[in-house]
Chains A and B, each alone.
Chain A
């Protein structure tokens, strides 16, 4: 049970910051995700790409966190974009009605 819960790495270029996530997002890890994105927002890039390719699990707290971060990015004159969102997560976003509150670009190339 002691696998790494969520690993977060950030790559910044002048145009955007790419936040690569791998692992599980739940009550244990959502705060760390918030902290990481808030750190990026301290000097907001035009675009923040949240790469969910490595995310194996995300619960409703994780979704809530994504929505809150997206709003904060907008307030900070930036844009939060989600890429590589898994099929099941998309279904959950539809069910909860949160899909419209997030910008999802599954076909977008990162970089």
Chain B
């Protein structure tokens, strides 16, 4: 008796599917040595698969089983809906295709109309005609149902009338002992192994064969990958097709299919024991399948989480784009490319990676190709459509963030399987995260640029050069370079060769603080140029801040300078600001000035004036709290350290004093500055 031959294959809803199914049927019939059924089998298989492709439009599971007596072909689809439609179509078709002949064409219609009508009629009648053929040729045919859809099957027998076969009568043999039976249950799967199901099946099969005295046996498993049944485990010599064997199907879920075969007559107890073993093996196969699916899914989740974390940390546009292909290769493809659209919507290759470095030049060349079928053309289509599009060896997804199309992400693998649904979903997820990261980095870069520009506009580009007066300033922005600080300084010329120096600190940071800074700076400039006395000008600034400062306040140190002979007269007003350091030419250092009220808090302010005469070589150092509140852990730089740092600088030029103090302040701690730092030095250079 020839062995049973089974082939199962899942095919797409494609016009090539009937031909592919025919190829499978041809192979099976050749293997089972049933050439006499070829014509009928090919025709009926084609009719069923065509029906599935046209009317179900889902993937099709085709199962071809040949045994010694004939062939059974089942075509299952995954479309919901009653199989009753098939019957309706069949009876309807049988009417229209009655042996009286095909319907006559309508009388002299326009050519195009006739063609369309004929095509529609042909389609209708062909479907019926197909089932008519199945009905005529098949020994039996029918429909089946499964959870996700329905199927149609037909059977072609070698001879129309099957000979009644003698059913072998099982002989009663010696009954196995309880101990021997228990050994079947003591075999347990080891889930740690590389192939737990195969390992378990092998050991169990061995025990079973020993127990029932079989010379050999096999466990076959068809994973519905088109490769047919493969041997999962074997024991002894495989059962030969010519001898009687004991066969039990494995209760695995579709699309898997398997069986256990033993080189042994189905004696009284052999069959139930084989059935139990088959169940245990099936359970392990199922567990293994679920575990693999689960591991795969977990792997993707971890991968996505890692991608998110890496992308979220990257605030640099160029780095982000370069990072993306490195994340994707080799997990989702052999190569990956990021294309970003420029202001005109033109896609430009921004980053690419290949699992094989030496293949990178070839990849660049392929990506540069132009033409209707080139990758570049497909990518333009992807970007325009905003949907994933297949490539010759992979596919491309759009990069979309906040509704904006940024570009495309493409992957491919020249060798190896095509991407499955899961991988496509993962890549789409990566693309979403990548697009958001690119957009975030762009926004961050824009903020940084705005902050930098704003800060620059609040400080004088250069300090004036005044004969006899040394002026120098240093400014360090906060560590977060996307923030605008509230510190500022200014040097304003007054009539009669006199100068006004202003150092200030507006509470808070950011754009709002910057607007208040600009307001304070400009109001002071306008008022003092108008010739207002300083206390009056400061009172006006206070009024402005109370009215329009939005709750922000400001501390100011204002000094009016004028040379009188070789002495530099300084008239100092402090409005809540820290006292400046006076460094005498001989190295004595101390804080000077009387404290006043910060501006913007109260309706009236006091800004007492202090005269600080600077003799040649003396310096007066203004600073903001970014200096004294510079932190090292919980420790502050403080006033004492500042004075100690300033004293040795006696005798140096204003430039040197400012630069040294800046370096000392920054060097105090390794942390980036939390607040911005401003230092301004006045020195009597006469």
Q: Measuring CB to CB, which residues of chain A are less than 8 angstroms from any residue of chain B?
A: 1, 5, 24, 26-28, 57, 59-61, 63-65, 67-68, 71-72, 75, 88, 92, 95-98, 100-101
Q: Measuring CB to CB, which residues of chain B are less than 8 angstroms from any residue of chain A?
A: 15-16, 18-20, 22-23, 39, 42-43, 46-47, 50, 53-54, 97-102, 105, 111, 114-115, 118-119, 122-123, 125-126, 129-130, 132-133, 136
| Cα distance, A100 to B46, chains bound together (Å) | 24
| Cα distance, A75 to B122, chains bound together (Å) | 17
Docked-complex contact A24 and B19, CB < 8 angstroms:
yes
Q: Which residue of A lies closest to B125 (CB)?
A: A64
Residue in B46, B53, B97, B118 whose beta carbon sits within 8 Å of that of A96 in the complex: B97
Docked-complex contact A59 and B119, CB < 8 angstroms:
no
Docked-complex contact A95 and B132, CB < 8 angstroms:
yes
Other contacts beyond A28-B18, A59-B130: 7, CB < 8 A: A5-B19, A26-B19, A27-B50, A57-B42, A64-B122, A72-B114, A75-B114
Q: Which residue of A lies closest to B42 (CB)?
A: A57
Most buried by B among A59, A60, A65, A68: A60
| Cα distance, A1 to B111, chains bound together (Å) | 38
Docked-complex contact B18 and A71, CB < 8 angstroms:
no
Across the interface, which residues of A come within 8 angstroms of B123, CB to CB?
A: 64
List 9 contacting pairs A-B, 8 Å CB cutoff, sorted by A.
A1-B19, A5-B19, A28-B19, A60-B126, A68-B122, A71-B118, A72-B115, A96-B129, A101-B101
Docked-complex contact A61 and B119, CB < 8 angstroms:
no
Across the interface, which residues of A come within 8 angstroms of B122, CB to CB?
A: 64-65, 67-68
| Cα distance, A95 to B97, chains bound together (Å) | 10
Docked-complex contact B46 and A59, CB < 8 angstroms:
yes
Across the interface, which residues of B come within 8 angstroms of A95, CB to CB?
A: 132-133, 136
Across the interface, which residues of A come within 8 angstroms of B102, CB to CB?
A: 67, 97-98, 100-101
Across the interface, which residues of B come within 8 angstroms of A72, CB to CB?
A: 114-115, 118
Docked-complex contact B97 and A59, CB < 8 angstroms:
no
| Cα distance, A36 to B280, chains bound together (Å) | 59
Q: Which residue of B lies closest to A63 (CB)?
A: B129
- Given A5-B19, A24-B19, A28-B15, A64-B46 contact (CB < 8 Å): no
Across the interface, which residues of B come within 8 angstroms of A60, CB to CB?
A: 47, 50, 126, 129-130, 133
| Cα distance, A61 to B573, chains bound together (Å) | 101
| Cα distance, A1 to B19, chains bound together (Å) | 8
Tell me what chain B mostly uses at the interface: helix, strand, loop, or mixed: helix
| Cα distance, A78 to B16, chains bound together (Å) | 32
| Cα distance, A99 to B102, chains bound together (Å) | 10
Across the interface, which residues of A come within 8 angstroms of B99, CB to CB?
A: 97
Docked-complex contact A97 and B98, CB < 8 angstroms:
yes
Across the interface, which residues of B come within 8 angstroms of A26, CB to CB?
A: 18-19, 46, 50
Q: Which residue of B lies closest to A86 (CB)?
A: B39
Min CB distance, A71 to chain B, in Å? 5
Docked-complex contact A28 and B16, CB < 8 angstroms:
yes
Docked-complex contact B126 and A71, CB < 8 angstroms:
no
| Cα distance, A27 to B118, chains bound together (Å) | 16
Across the interface, which residues of B come within 8 angstroms of A27, CB to CB?
A: 15, 18, 50, 53-54
Min CB distance, A50 to chain B, in Å? 17
| Cα distance, A2 to B134, chains bound together (Å) | 27
Across the interface, which residues of A come within 8 angstroms of B97, CB to CB?
A: 96-97
Q: Which residue of B lies closest to A68 (CB)?
A: B118
A-B contact count (CB 8 A): 83
Q: Which residue of A lies closest to B119 (CB)?
A: A68
What 3 A-B pairs have minimum CB-CB distances, sorted nearest first? A64-B122, A88-B39, A59-B46
Q: Which residue of B lies closest to A96 (CB)?
A: B129
Q: Which residue of B lies closest to A31 (CB)?
A: B15
Min CB distance, B168 to chain A, in Å? 38
Across the interface, which residues of A come within 8 angstroms of B126, CB to CB?
A: 60-61, 63-64
Min CB distance, B15 to chain A, in Å? 4
Q: Which residue of A lies closest to B101 (CB)?
A: A100
Residue in B22, B98, B118 whose beta carbon sits within 8 Å of that of A24 in the complex: B22
Docked-complex contact B133 and A92, CB < 8 angstroms:
yes
Docked-complex contact A96 and B132, CB < 8 angstroms:
yes
Most buried by B among A59, A72, A96, A97: A59
Most buried by A among B99, B115, B126, B133: B126
| Cα distance, A101 to B102, chains bound together (Å) | 7
| Cα distance, A75 to B114, chains bound together (Å) | 10
Docked-complex contact B100 and A57, CB < 8 angstroms:
no
| Cα distance, A96 to B115, chains bound together (Å) | 21
Docked-complex contact B43 and A97, CB < 8 angstroms:
no
Across the interface, which residues of B come within 8 angstroms of A68, CB to CB?
A: 115, 118-119, 122
Across the interface, which residues of B come within 8 angstroms of A67, CB to CB?
A: 102, 122
| Cα distance, A88 to B136, chains bound together (Å) | 13
Min CB distance, A40 to chain B, in Å? 15
Across the interface, which residues of A come within 8 angstroms of B114, CB to CB?
A: 71-72, 75
- Given A27-B54, A95-B136, A57-B101 contact (CB < 8 Å): no
Q: Which residue of B lies closest to A74 (CB)?
A: B105
Docked-complex contact A71 and B133, CB < 8 angstroms:
no
| Cα distance, A26 to B101, chains bound together (Å) | 22
Across the interface, which residues of A come within 8 angstroms of B132, CB to CB?
A: 95-96
| Cα distance, A97 to B126, chains bound together (Å) | 12
| Cα distance, A96 to B51, chains bound together (Å) | 17
Docked-complex contact A59 and B23, CB < 8 angstroms:
no
Across the interface, which residues of B come within 8 angstroms of A65, CB to CB?
A: 122
| Cα distance, A28 to B39, chains bound together (Å) | 19
Docked-complex contact B20 and A61, CB < 8 angstroms:
no
| Cα distance, A28 to B11, chains bound together (Å) | 15
Docked-complex contact B22 and A97, CB < 8 angstroms:
no
Residue in B43, B100, B115 whose beta carbon sits within 8 Å of that of A59 in the complex: B43
Docked-complex contact A59 and B50, CB < 8 angstroms:
yes
Docked-complex contact B43 and A92, CB < 8 angstroms:
yes
Across the interface, which residues of A come within 8 angstroms of B136, CB to CB?
A: 95
Across the interface, which residues of B come within 8 angstroms of A101, CB to CB?
A: 101-102
Across the interface, which residues of B come within 8 angstroms of A98, CB to CB?
A: 102
Most buried by A among B16, B111, B129: B129
Docked-complex contact A97 and B100, CB < 8 angstroms:
yes
Across the interface, which residues of A come within 8 angstroms of B119, CB to CB?
A: 68
Across the interface, which residues of B come within 8 angstroms of A57, CB to CB?
A: 22, 42-43, 46
| Cα distance, A86 to B660, chains bound together (Å) | 103
Min CB distance, B118 to chain A, in Å? 5
Docked-complex contact B101 and A59, CB < 8 angstroms:
no
Min CB distance, B129 to chain A, in Å? 4
| Cα distance, A65 to B118, chains bound together (Å) | 10
| Cα distance, A69 to B53, chains bound together (Å) | 24
Min CB distance, B68 to chain A, in Å? 24
| Cα distance, A71 to B103, chains bound together (Å) | 11
| Cα distance, A67 to B102, chains bound together (Å) | 9
| Cα distance, A28 to B4, chains bound together (Å) | 31
Most buried by A among B54, B100, B130: B130
Min CB distance, B105 to chain A, in Å? 5
Across the interface, which residues of A come within 8 angstroms of B98, CB to CB?
A: 97
